[in-house]
Amino acid sequence: MSSITIYHNPACGTSRNVLGLIRNTGEEPTIIEYLKTPPDAKTLKSLIAAMGIPVREVLRQKGTPYDELGLSDSKWTDEQLIGFMLEHPILINRPIVVTPIGIRLCRPSEAVLDILTRPQLGSFNKEDGEPLINAEGHRV
């Protein structure tokens, strides 16, 4: 079993880039396609607490029902916002990566590099062609 878990959306370029960076260490993570298998309330609360970021920072706006649900309104409590994420998993920003070093919302994708235990094994370019890792496995 892998020591890395990624809450992944294969339709998301950032999520695919993060998965590529994880695999570039030679490790195959546990992949949870959270739109198909959403976390339960306890898991989601635990992930958010471990990341140490406000619940609102985990909410995704683009391509979600964020605006139609009026989630920008400050009247919503953290519990209510988590409830919306459980009801509409697309509201959970991605990817969230869990490693032995920590848990992080990896936006931008290179944020994952800070929590990987293994070095990059070779060059890596983002899907848009932007180089991130050189042939020696170092950040560009």
Q: Is residue 21 part of a domain?
A: yes
Residue 2: pLDDT band by 50, 70, 90 thresholds? confident
Determine the structural domain holding residue 116 and report its residue range: 5-133
Q: Is residue 74 part of a domain?
A: yes
Which among 109, 104, 82, 101 is positioned nearest to 15, based on CA atoms? 109
Reported as type and span, the H/E element at residue 124 is strand 124-125
Verify whether residue 106 is a known catalytic residue.
no
Q: Is residue 139 part of a domain?
A: no
Q: How many domains does the chain have?
A: 1
Provide the token pair at 28: 């195959």
Residue-wise pLDDT for 71-96, tens only, equals: 999 999 999 999 999 999 999 999 99
Q: Check 4, 6, 8, 12 and give the catalytic one.
A: 12
Q: CA 72, CA 84: separation in Å to the nearest integer? A: 12
- Give the per-residue pLDDT at 37: 96
* CATH number of the domain that residue 89 is part of: 3.40.30.10
The pTM score is: 0.95
Q: Is residue 73 part of a domain?
A: yes
Q: Which residues are CB-contacts of 103 (< 8 A; sequence separation ≥ 6)?
A: 47, 50, 51, 96, 97, 115
- Strand bridging mode 5-8 / 30-33: parallel
